[in-house]
Amino acid sequence: MDYIKKSLKLENVCYDIRGPVLDEAARLEEEGYTIYKLNIGNTAPFGLNAPDEIIHDVMYNLKNSQGYCDSKGIFPARKAVMQYYQKKGIMDVEIDDIYIGNGVSELITLAMQGLLNNGDEVLIPMPDYPLWTASVNLAGGKAVHYICDEQSKWYPDLDDIKAKINEKTKAIVLINPNNPTGANYPIEILEAVIKIAKENDLIIYSDEIYEKITYNGAEHTSIATLTDDVLVVTFSGLSKSHRVPGFRAGWMMLSGPKYHAESYIEGLNILSSMRLCSNVPSQYAIQTSLGGYQSIDDLVLPGGRLKEQRDLAYKLLTDIPGISCVKPEAGLYLFPKLDTEKFNITNDERFILDFLVQEKVLLVQGSGFNWPNPDHFRMVFLPSEEDLRIAIGRLKKFLSNYQQ
Ligand code: PLP
């Protein structure tokens, strides 16, 4: 009998990107099938490797990395992050405002644990990167989703945000560039969000892990550069731009009126010390990564592998009858829409599972990103052009006679 139960804290916590469909994929692999994995933004299996100098720096410093470090991170890494934001124009950032973590993931949960009391509300984009919703719920808060509008390039619906603010609302989360939609928000949207945050005393949490992965030279704006009178917590790291997701190297930076947040900062410091420190060897990758030539540009500019793969995947997908898609301006994903009436789809997880079992291609259902309707899925365009052609070709064939 199953008498050892998970904690009630986990009642509303879910992370479907690594959820039940993955178990079925593992089972099929055990049976000997090759699965085309277009489900997670993990660069390494697709031959997208880190620049050599980063690996070199980590190896070179390995001997010096045996001890715990300051719980907020090693000095050169924090200083490099501080200067990185100063160069973007945020002048009041100090070394104490930088926290290094085991990836952005750890810092997201830490930031929410440090802020929320039971019932406090946080505005989160819909669709979202589901770790945000999970972290808010785990911390006892309530994730309130605001619409990102597919008809308007997936930008946040500002009226919906305003309508969902009440006295319990503590913060608003932006994922910019966005996972899963690929939207890269223009300055006008960011300024409007700042205005809303200011009028309602909200903290802005801005997850910018894809900030360097924008296509055709599109600029990315860190919202923290546009305000010094709203508290902004900015997150970024090396996982995607420097192709080292396994290193677990990320950071968060506080800017704006920190003097209003002394107690919160004390809480963040307590939580940071409780995990002793972030993995030390990986922190030695940060200074090198942020300085000098940015090799990600070779992948995202015209002719670059990621840009070409994005264009190909977008074209092949939107050629399939019953699929439409907003072309991603940034990031590693497409979030296409299915004509649910045509295919009679009422359960998107069922659709993803049926496709996996029949065609051995793994995607993620839109509901895994807290999208409320069963009419979207997410596809990663990291695989080679050849593999993308095979996987999307299988989807076309599958949908040609799929009915739920
Ligand atoms: N934030 C977003 C929007 C992501 O897509 C991801 C990973 O896919 C993360 C955070 C996690 O990043 P890290 O590897 O730094 O934990």
Residue 30, domain CATH: 3.90.1150.10
User: Same domain, yes or no, for 206 and 340?
Assistant: no
User: Same domain, yes or no, for 121 and 96?
Assistant: yes
Residue 84 lies in a domain: yes
Please say which residue of 273, 290, 307 terminates a domain: 290
What are the angstrom distances between the C-alpha of 13 and each of 134, 136, 143, 179, 320? 5, 9, 11, 19, 34
Residue 62 lies in a domain: yes
Q: Which atom of ligand 1 is nearest to the CA of 40?
A: 8
Please say which residue of 236, 268, 290 terminates a domain: 290
Buried-exposed string 197-211: b where 16+ CB fall within 10 A, e elsewhere: beebebbbbbbbbbb
Both structure tokens of 163: 């309508």
User: Same domain, yes or no, for 45 and 62?
Assistant: no
The whole-angstrom separation of Cα 213 and Cα 312 is: 17
How much of the chain exceeds pLDDT 70, in percent? 99
Task: Give the residue whose CA is nearest to atom 8 of ligand 1.
Answer: 41
User: Same domain, yes or no, for 282 and 175?
Assistant: yes
Residue 136 lies in a domain: yes
Q: Which atom of ligand 1 is nearest to the CA of 239?
A: 14
Please say which residue of 235, 259, 290 terminates a domain: 290
Query: Is the ipTM, as predicted for this complex, more than 0.90?
Result: yes
Sequential DSSP letters for 373-400 = SS-BEEEE--S-HHHHHHHHHHHHHHHH
The whole-angstrom separation of Cα 327 and Cα 335 is: 9
The whole-angstrom separation of Cα 239 and Cα 296 is: 12
pTM of the model: 0.96
Q: How far is the CA of 105 from the centre of ligand 1 (A)?
A: 6
Q: Which atom of ligand 1 is nearest to the CA of 240?
A: 14
Distance of CA 387 to the CA centre of its chain: 24
Provide mean pLDDT across the span 23-52: 94
Provide mean pLDDT across the span 98-102: 98
Residue whose CB lies within 8 A of the most ligand 1 atoms, among 209, 241, 289, for a mutation test: 209
User: Same domain, yes or no, for 71 and 195?
Assistant: yes
Residue 1 lies in a domain: no
The dihedrals phi and psi of 344, each to the nearest 5 degrees, come to 55, 40
Nearest to 174 by CA among 205, 149, 130, 209: 205
Residue whose CB lies within 8 A of the most ligand 1 atoms, among 48, 240, 248, for a mutation test: 240
Residue 3 lies in a domain: no
User: Same domain, yes or no, for 36 and 93?
Assistant: no
User: Same domain, yes or no, for 96 and 167?
Assistant: yes
pLDDT score for 17: 66
Residue whose CB lies within 8 A of the most ligand 1 atoms, among 15, 39, 104, for a mutation test: 104
Q: How far is the CA of 209 from the centre of ligand 1 (A)?
A: 6
Both structure tokens of 52: 């050599």
User: Same domain, yes or no, for 225 and 261?
Assistant: yes
Q: Which atom of ligand 1 is nearest to the CA of 178?
A: 3
Residue 15 lies in a domain: yes
Q: How far is the CA of 173 from the centre of ligand 1 (A)?
A: 14
Q: How far is the CA of 203 from the centre of ligand 1 (A)?
A: 20
The whole-angstrom separation of Cα 288 and Cα 77 is: 9
Q: Integer distance in angstroms from the first to the last C-alpha of the chain?
A: 35
Q: How far is the CA of 177 from the centre of ligand 1 (A)?
A: 11
Q: How far is the CA of 32 from the centre of ligand 1 (A)?
A: 30
3-class state of residue 324 by DSSP? strand
Whether 233 contacts 205, CB under 8 Å: yes
pLDDT score for 3: 85
Q: How far is the CA of 88 from the centre of ligand 1 (A)?
A: 22
User: Same domain, yes or no, for 241 and 277?
Assistant: yes
Both structure tokens of 304: 């670059």
Provide mean pLDDT across the span 38-45: 93
Place of tokens 């807290």: 370
User: Same domain, yes or no, for 226 and 237?
Assistant: yes
Q: How far is the CA of 297 from the centre of ligand 1 (A)?
A: 20
pLDDT score for 293: 87
Q: How far is the CA of 104 from the centre of ligand 1 (A)?
A: 6
- Domain hosting 307: range is 8-49+298-400
The whole-angstrom separation of Cα 108 and Cα 367 is: 21
Nearest to 97 by CA among 204, 198, 221, 233: 233
Q: How far is the CA of 85 from the centre of ligand 1 (A)?
A: 19
The whole-angstrom separation of Cα 235 and Cα 129 is: 13
Would you tell me how many other CB atoms lie within 10 Å of the CB of residue 256?
A: 24
Q: How far is the CA of 235 from the centre of ligand 1 (A)?
A: 9
pLDDT score for 341: 86
Task: Give the residue whose CA is nearest to atom 5 of ligand 1.
Answer: 179
Q: Which atom of ligand 1 is nearest to the CA of 129?
A: 3
Task: Give the residue whose CA is nearest to atom 12 of ligand 1.
Answer: 104
3-class state of residue 203 by DSSP? strand
The whole-angstrom separation of Cα 322 and Cα 338 is: 6
User: Same domain, yes or no, for 389 and 365?
Assistant: yes
Q: What CATH number should be reported for the domain holding residue 72? A: 3.40.640.10
What pLDDT, in 10s, does the model give residues 137-176?
Answer: 999 999 999 999 999 999 999 999 999 999 999 999 999 9
User: Same domain, yes or no, for 96 and 230?
Assistant: yes
Sheet containing 155-156: order of strands: 98-102, 249-255, 232-237, 203-207, 169-175, 121-126, 142-149, 155-156
- Residue 20: band (very low, low, confident or very high) from pLDDT cuts 50, 70, 90: confident
Residue 150 lies in a domain: yes
Residue 79 lies in a domain: yes
Residues with CB under 6 A from ligand 1: 41, 103-105, 129, 175, 179, 207, 209, 237, 239, 245, 250
What pLDDT, in 10s, does the model give residues 328-376?
Answer: 999 999 999 999 889 999 999 999 999 999 999 999 999 999 999 999 9
Average confidence score pLDDT of the chain: 95
| Number of domains present in the structure of the chain | 2
Place of tokens 């359960």: 347
pLDDT score for 11: 84
Sheet containing 364-365: order of strands: 333-334, 377-380, 364-365
